[in-house]
A and B are shown apart, each in its own frame.
Chain A
């Protein structure tokens, strides 16, 4: 199952990266006489309500989403690992401070911080800068939940017999961390990474309502998924579901590539 998943995932990434060469039309060109057209030669997936080619938009959206959502998830997971590792240090003050920071990050109304970010950005900010900042902020804001999971796992490890045995054998802390602790955390990190990707894709769609996220006419899976709010559009053209299908496919592939905790150990 791992190989097909890898191939499919690689295919999706290649499709996204090769969008400028594969897309039959510019993603923002409005074929106004073809608005909301059904699939037909020239528009294999039909057009959206402004007459833009759905296939071209999906390819470009894949490029944005497969690059930025995993990047944001990576930021979150790395920050979470870093802070959880610090929390494992003997200092109670550090552990308490990080626990407090975690609690604060979990309880902050992030939506308002995004609104503030938007208000601080110039209205003529390049869409690419805006979307990069948005995903970066999502990545920073999102460390707290995986952070809890990592901290719990690390605390559990501290009392484990194998760790005492490693210490007794005279292994250096760095060696213990890389050779023994990391395999325990790796599968957990992958699971958290996988969970965060769709969360960020969907968050980006919601942030579009605040003028953040990916601004029109640039497509992303998130803003393409907004079409699903209109059942009549989906009924008229089932290709509207393509971004959802692609998102689900990527999630399944990531799931297949995520080793179970037991296997990792």
Chain B
């Protein structure tokens, strides 16, 4: 009898179904790990594709995965991987350096159109690939490749033959797909990883991703217990869930994603020179920044689930953020004083420039994105204190994108970034003056200002720097310049809010994608 009682917990534990269920908001476009270009396929790739190394989401340090070791060589020009012995795909076929080579060559083939290939190439040049033996492979670039090791966090090793539901090299494989309904992943019994007790991972038997476009329905199904997690909640849903299921919601603190405004500084035909003169004035930008009540914005728009942003790098990114920087302080008087030095005068309730033009500009933002619409309304109201009239215009995303990136027919914009990596190189295309996403003046032929030239140098230098501490110094200086010049006026970092069923164990949610799922092989139900 005693023995039976001792066995009872084991029996009960075995009875707990080890299937994780959650919602994705649309069908994955494909299961080919090299062709992933949208978030739902990205989630499935993360769960199914084995990678040579994985950036640990809690420490931000790359760690070996399919490779038992890796070494960055030649000042960041080359990287060598040594694979683990006896690796296998989920169908039992061996995984060797030849598979890695084939994967890389297919990704790098311009005909394949693989987004993975775009990140691996240096400009138009592909790296040299050298296979020393079935367990060792080297990639060599002609010049140092920024963050060469981190690139491989998203390079899934593809199977020899692409089928409709291809075998995988990761913790799970795609077992079934019902378009519009669900994707079913099952555990890969050939996966290499084991826990400290020698138990093979993953713990979960399967993961079912239900395709549910409506976030409200997904929330209701979570409340009914049909889903075990929600990887991203808005502030209203978080508060609603907190009232009924307080133990299942978690705020991870400020996210990596900033919300900000910027002014068009490009010499666009539609922008009068006198308005451009305001926007290119750092004093004007500082004055605007100092009149915005960020605390109100966090409290009213995000129900307190947001924090004033300090700059391009969030305080959540503890290593890379410049700790000396603090969020801008509300100082309307100081702002008016700065404007007065630049020749602006406040007459009645209207601010006028040297040419007696009333200061008025339009602020565009994305229609239907309620938090951004609300933030824009608050900014418009705050700037009345400076005598500035702001016309908030909400546009559909296509029109908005066209105006800020092609026609440049706009004056100011309010948007946000969704960062998928904590590394400072993530936003390189925004900060390089030649970058297509250099928000305030895209694709400059030469830097328009001395400080933009300095940012260019710092960005390129940090990307090529191998010593982390030296790189940090460069990144700190870059953040300091951004604060001094404020080409982008940072507003807030909304908090990252998630919901996880208390029965799911092993959860270590982080603000870096894929948040709750980053250690999926360690998740289990008890």
Q: Chain A residues in contact with chain B, CB under 8 A?
A: 28, 30, 32, 35, 49-51, 115, 118-119, 123-124, 127, 208-211, 215-217, 230, 232
Contact = CB atoms under 8 A, between A and B. Distances in A.
A124 B272 CA distance: 13
B391 A123 contact: yes
Interface string B364-385: 1001100001101110110000
Given A123-B410, A211-B394, A232-B236, A115 B300 contact: no
A55 to B, nearest CB: 19
B362 interface: yes
Contact of A211 (B236, B378, B381, B396): B396
21 contacts: A32-B293, A35-B299, A35-B300, A49-B301, A50-B377, A118-B395, A123-B364, A123-B410, A124-B360, A124-B362, A124-B411, A208-B394, A209-B396, A210-B399, A211-B364, A215-B391, A215-B393, A216-B373, A216-B377, A217-B377, A230-B236
B377 A215 contact: no
A210 B368 CA distance: 8
Contacts of A123: 362, 364, 391, 393, 409-411
Contact of A208 (B236, B367, B409, B411): B367
Leading 5 A-B pairs by shortest Cβ distance: A123-B362, A211-B395, A211-B394, A209-B367, A35-B300
Contacts, number: 67
Nearest to A29: B381
A119 B399 contact: yes
B279 to A, nearest CB: 14
Given A32-B296, A123-B391, A209-B394, 14 more contacts: A30-B377, A30-B381, A35-B299, A50-B374, A115-B399, A123-B409, A127-B391, A208-B394, A210-B367, A210-B396, A215-B391, A215-B392, A217-B392, A232-B240
Contacts of A35: 299-300
A217 B392 CA distance: 8
A35 B299 CA distance: 9
A49 B381 contact: no
Interface of B: 236, 240, 293, 296, 299-301, 360-362, 364, 367-368, 373-374, 376-378, 380-381, 391-396, 399, 409-411
A115 B396 contact: yes
Which residue, of B293, B373, B395, has the highest number of chain A Cβ atoms within 10 A? B395
A119 B401 CA distance: 12
A145 B299 CA distance: 47
A230 B293 CA distance: 26
Contacts of B373: 216
A50 B300 contact: yes
Contacts of A28: 381
Nearest to A217: B377
Given A118-B395, A210-B396, A216-B392, A49 B364 contact: no
Contact of B300 (A49, A127, A215): A49
A10 B373 CA distance: 34
A210 B285 CA distance: 28
B374 A209 contact: no
A230 B364 CA distance: 24
Given A30-B378, A35-B300, A217-B377, A210 B392 contact: no
Given A217-B377, A230-B236, A211 B393 contact: yes
Contacts of B396: 115, 209-211
Nearest to B398: A115
B368 A209 contact: yes
Contacts of B410: 123
B406 to A, nearest CB: 12
The residue in B361, B367, B378, B410 that gathers the most chain A C-beta atoms within 10 A of its C-beta is: B367
Given A123-B391, A211-B394, A50 B368 contact: no
Contact of B394 (A30, A115, A215, A232): A215
A50 B393 contact: no
Contacts of B364: 123, 211
A211 B380 CA distance: 16
A190 B524 CA distance: 65
Given A32-B300, A115-B396, A115-B399, A211 B367 contact: yes
Contacts of A209: 367-368, 394, 396
Contacts of B361: 124
B399 A118 contact: yes
Contacts of B293: 32
A123 B408 CA distance: 12
A215 B409 CA distance: 19
Contacts of A51: 300
A232 B411 CA distance: 36
Contacts of A119: 399
Contacts of A127: 391
- Chain B CB within 10 Å, residue with most, of A32, A51, A215: A32
Contacts of A215: 391-394
A174 B341 CA distance: 73
Contacts of A211: 364, 367, 393-396, 399
A69 B376 CA distance: 27
A58 B417 CA distance: 35
Nearest to B216: A231
Contacts of B411: 123-124
